[in-house]
Amino acid sequence: MTALIRLLSSTPFRLTLACMGAFVVAAALIVGFIAWRANDLLTNKVVETLEAEITGLREQFQSGGAERLAAVVAQRSGQPGSSLYMLIDATGRKVAGNLDRVPAEFDGTARGGIFSYARPAPEGRTLVSRLAVGVPVAVPGGLMLIVGRDIEDLHRFAGSMGQLGLWSIALLSILGIGAGLAVSRSVLRRIETITDASRTIMAGDLSKRIPLNGSGDELDRLSENLNGMLARIEELIGALREVSDNIAHDLKTPLTRLRNRAEAALAHPDGAACYRDGLVKTIEEADELIKTFNSLLLIARLEAGAVAESMGPADPASIVADVAELYEPVAEEAGLELETSVARGLRLVANRELVSQSVANLVDNAIKYSVDDSHPRPGGAARRKIALSMARVGDRIEISVADRGPGVAPEDRERALQRFVRLEKSRSRPGSGLGLSLVAAVARLHGGSIRLEDNAPGLRAVLTLPLRTTARQEAGAKASAPADLAGARQRAQPGPSSG
């Protein structure tokens, strides 16, 4: 009983019932209008026939008097058909006609109307009552002529049409209710499936997905979007768990060093000089921790879209050139050569500072992980190169940084874009594992992507940004002046790098 009540109170059933009600009302109005028009046409036809009969009989009376009129009425009364006549004299005696009496409905009125009369049944002498419409006409000399028309067949036809209309409406109502129950049951079954999946997910099983029936309808599209949302939630929660583990792993070491250095400085017998050296090293460690947390906050803001409104027209060529000018001395000092190739004349709507920082992170990683094998080799071998390029590919631009370092294994490339992920070969190098995850967040904010490829040997990181602006970017785009080199130098200082 509860299932039936839930079915009857469901939104699909109520909507179907409302649509069916509107359809039935419209059908009833249409049928009623058709019946009214048909009745009106038939009535007008009968009235026209009576008027023609009366006109003809008047002409007969004018040409031959009462005797002529009586003869014509007697002649027409003997012919088969639906015409009815009755001619009576001043005393009320019937002179001619096929009506046996004056209709009781005409007593006291001269307008006529619908009346009933008796006619023998075709199969015998049994009298049957039938409906007719007639008009009394006064004839000079005290005579009264009643001219009528049998409408029993028309009345039955109209009744049959009315019953047919009522049965049709009743059938439509039954079919509508049945269709509503079927639709409601089908929709409720699919909604119950979604509800069951939601309960499982709320119970903690984030791997559960809503099944699709392959119809591609609205519920299928809703399920696809919900499954995409669930996949994203599962990914974020997994990332949150991994971040928590990595924070405990990667931040515990510098915090322990801070405490140990402070404790060692307090225990050292040299006094003030040792205290000062300990405080300096403590400040350096604290600065690294602040950089790490600043990167975490920036990534969180990027993923929340909090800085999307700060986008404006930007020249990607100038961004790449500024980063190359900043890092060229750093590369030379590390024994590397930074080559730059830039396509000019391109424009995009972006946050210049974030794109600049992303490119700087990629270049900084390339220098950091190429430096061990990049010093000049014996015999005057050429220095290892890092290629920084920017080119247009379709409706996007690709900013790539290629190095000749150890590279990243294919199975680790997706994981390297996550927060705090540092591969084993990079554990001995400074950094927090946030550089590439920051680049990935910037790419997602701009509708782009970041991918890691094999440079054979080495790693090639490609940052892809769309040239075409989205409606959201256009709405929030503001004119922004290119940052000067000093500002770019401050923004692009080597920061957290990925493993």
Q: Per-residue pLDDT for 401 more than 60?
A: yes
Q: Do 370 and 229 fall into the same domain?
A: no
Cis? peptide before 211, omega within 30° of 0 = no
Residue-wise pLDDT for 117-127, tens only, equals 887 766 656 67
Residues 342 and 411 in one domain: yes
Where in the sequence is the domain holding 381, given as residue range(s)? 305-491
Residue 351 included in any domain: yes
Task: Give 228-295 as a 3 state SS string.
Answer: HHHHHHHHHHHHHHHHHHHHHHHCHHHHHHHHHHHHHHHHCCCCHHHHHHHHHHHHHHHHHHHHHHHH
Which span out of 237-251, 322-336, 422-436 was modeled with the highest average pLDDT? 322-336
Which pLDDT score, from 0 to 100, does residue 6 have? 63
Q: What is the pLDDT of residue 309?
A: 61
Which CATH number goes with the domain that contains 104? 3.30.450
117: how many CB neighbours lie within 10 A of its CB? 22
The reported pLDDT for the residue numbered 120 is 72
Domain holding 345: CATH number?
3.30.565.10
36 assigned to some structural domain: yes
Residue 231 lies in a domain: yes
| 336 and 237 both lie in a single domain | no
Q: What DSSP state is assigned to residue 382?
A: P
Mean pLDDT value across the chain: 77
Give the sign of the dihedral formed by CA 311, CA 316, CA 318, CA 320: positive
| Residue 465, pLDDT score | 92
One domain for residues 460 and 364: yes
Clarify whether residues 342 and 476 are in a common domain. yes
- Percentage helix, strand, coil for the chain under 3-state DSSP, each rounded to 5: 55, 15, 25
Q: Model confidence over 20-46: pLDDT tens digits?
A: 778 778 888 887 888 788 777 877 888
Sheet order of strands, 396-402 included = 336-342, 384-393, 396-402, 459-466, 449-454
pLDDT band at 400 (very low <50, low <70, confident <90, very high): very high
Higher pLDDT, 432 or 388: 388
Last residue of a domain, one of 116, 138, 156: 156
Residue 281 within a domain: no
- Mean pLDDT for 419-430 is 53
Question: Of 156, 191, 218, which residue sits at a domain end?
Answer: 156
Whether residue 10 has pLDDT greater than 90? no
Number of domains composing the chain: 3
Return the pLDDT at 461: 92
Percentage with pLDDT > 70 across the chain: 77
pLDDT at 428: 46
**Is residue 312 domain-shared with residue 456, that is, in the same domain?**
yes
**Which one is predicted more confidently, 275 or 225?**
225
pLDDT given at position 402: 92
Q: Do 140 and 239 fall within a single domain?
A: no
Q: Is residue 338 part of a domain?
A: yes
Average pLDDT (338-348) is 89
Domain final position from 92, 123, 156:
156
Least reliable range by pLDDT among 54-63, 65-74, 174-183, 354-363: 174-183
- Considering only the C-alpha atoms of the chain, give the largest distance between any 2 of them, rounded to a whole number of Å: 158
Classify residue 201: in a domain, yes or no. Answer: no
pLDDT tier for residue 478 given thresholds of 50, 70 and 90? very low
Residue 304: per-residue pLDDT:
61
Alpha helices in 304-419 (DSSP H): 316-333, 352-368, 413-416
Position 145 pLDDT exceeds 70: yes
CA-to-CA dists, residue 372 to 366, 405, 409, angstroms: 11, 8, 18
Burial of 384 (0-12, 13-18, 19+ CB in 10 A): buried
Residue 265, domain member (yes or no): no
Using pLDDT thresholds of 50, 70 and 90, give the confidence band for residue 198: confident
Q: Are residues 35 and 152 in the same domain?
A: yes
Residues 223 and 345 in one domain: no
497 pLDDT tier (thresholds 50, 70, 90): very low
Range 387-402 average pLDDT: 92
485 and 354 both lie in a single domain: yes
Q: In the numeric block, which tokens belong to residue 355? A: 């794109």
d(CA 336, CA 330) in angstroms, rounded, equals: 9
Gap between the Cα atoms of 66 and 49, Å rounded:
22
Residue with tokens 């794109």: 355
Lowest mean pLDDT across 187-201, 252-266, 474-488: 474-488
Confidence of residue 492 (pLDDT cuts 50, 70, 90): very low
Q: Which of 417, 491, 498 is nearest to 452 (CA)?
A: 417
Specify the pLDDT at position 109.
57
Asked whether the whole model's pTM tops 0.85, one would answer no
What local confidence, expressed as pLDDT, does residue 387 receive?
A: 92
β 127-139/113-120 pair status:
antiparallel
